[in-house]
């Protein structure tokens, strides 16, 4: 049998084994390893452990299938380790795990519901400082707080310890609560038009979950039945497309409508 092993903390032992079996054994550098988080309890188990049920008054619906969150992350196209990813409403954190496993090193998660802070804090500790948690309402939190949490500063008087190397390397990702999706989108579009907040730092990619009807209106072509004021406003400021259709069956609890990313 040939064993290929990797370890941060036991290099001396690995070296001895290599000397005994030089042809059958090789170690991998950290850069060769996939982006795997330390072993953590499954999100489903954490939801049960902490009694985390979705609150209808907050418009919450969880995704507890990692295959789905991996597809959402792939749709976002986060491909650079130096990207800044802002996740809106991480909830129990499964989408957050998928984001971190892309190798991105700067993630800021903004969560209003304090019930999720213990599970998110556990994930942040396991992420080796790649994940920062901001507790508050995304509609009210100043974007300067997000940039400060990510150690990215736009004021000349501030000394930056981390920078975005590409103006195209800011991503906002979120399985948005239904009751905040439209107000938040309108806020983002207004900020984009005035180049404020995150939108003043560089070009921002947004990969956001909407109810199917809203998604169709956002991406509607000229002359189609879904075309309207929202279509015109969004498409005048952004390149809009539906990248992934998400069936209602993947959510807990199951909503009455399907969704689009």
Q: Which residues contact 62 (CB under 8 A, 6 or more apart)?
A: 47, 54, 91, 92, 94, 251, 252
Residue 249 pLDDT level (bands cut at 50, 70, 90)? confident
Give me the sign of the Cα torsion angle 134, 139, 145, 150: positive
Tens digits of per-residue pLDDT, 128-139? Answer: 899 999 999 999
Look at residue 192 and give its three-state secondary structure.
helix
Question: Would you kindly state where each structural domain of the chain is located, as residue ranges?
Answer: 51-260
Give the CATH class of 51-260: alpha beta
The residue among 59 and 213 whose pLDDT is bigger is 213
Q: What is the rounded average pLDDT of the residues 87-103?
A: 91
DSSP string, 139-150: TTS-HHHHHHHT
Name the helix (H) or strand (E) containing 233. helix 229-237
Q: Which residues contact 106 (CB under 8 A, 6 or more apart)?
A: 82, 83, 84, 85, 130, 150, 151, 152, 162
Name the residue with tokens 């996740």.
87
Name the residue with tokens 């491909």.
79
pLDDT above 50 for 107: yes
Residue 62 pLDDT level (bands cut at 50, 70, 90)? confident
Q: Give the predicted TM-score (pTM) of the model.
A: 0.76
Look at residue 260 and give its three-state secondary structure.
strand
Tens digits of per-residue pLDDT, 131-179? Answer: 999 999 999 999 999 999 988 755 544 444 444 554 458 999 998 878 8
Nearest to 67 by CA among 45, 97, 89: 97
């Amino acid at each position: 049998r040939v064993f290929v092993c990797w370890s941060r903390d036991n290099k001396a032992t690995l070296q001895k084994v290599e000397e005994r079996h030089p042809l059958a054994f090789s170690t991998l550098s950290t850069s060769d390893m996939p982006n795997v988080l330390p072993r953590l309890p499954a999100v489903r188990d954490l939801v049960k452990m902490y009694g985390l049920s979705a609150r209808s008054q907050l418009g919450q619906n969880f995704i507890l299938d990692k295959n789905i969150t991996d597809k959402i992350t792939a749709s976002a196209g986060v491909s650079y380790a130096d990207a800044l990813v802002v996740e809106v409403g991480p909830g129990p954190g499964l989408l957050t795990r998928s984001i971190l496993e892309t190798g991105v090193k700067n993630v800021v998660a903004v969560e209003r519901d304090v019930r999720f802070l213990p599970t998110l804090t556990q994930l942040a500790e396991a992420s080796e400082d790649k994940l920062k948690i901001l507790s508050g309402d995304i509609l009210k939190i100043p974007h300067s707080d997000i940039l400060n949490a990510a150690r990215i500063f736009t004021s000349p008087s501030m000394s930056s310890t981390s920078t975005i190397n590409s103006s195209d390397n800011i991503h906002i990702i979120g399985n948005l609560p239904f009751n905040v999706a439209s107000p938040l989108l309108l806020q983002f579009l207004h900020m984009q038009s005035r180049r404020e907040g995150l939108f003043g730092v560089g070009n921002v990619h947004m990969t956001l979950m909407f109810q199917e009807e809203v998604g169709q209106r956002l991406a509607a072509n000229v002359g189609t039945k879904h075309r309207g004021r929202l279509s015109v406003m969004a498409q005048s400021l952004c390149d809009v497309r539906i990248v992934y259709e998400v069936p209602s069956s993947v959510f807990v609890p199951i909503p009455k409508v399907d969704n689009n990313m």
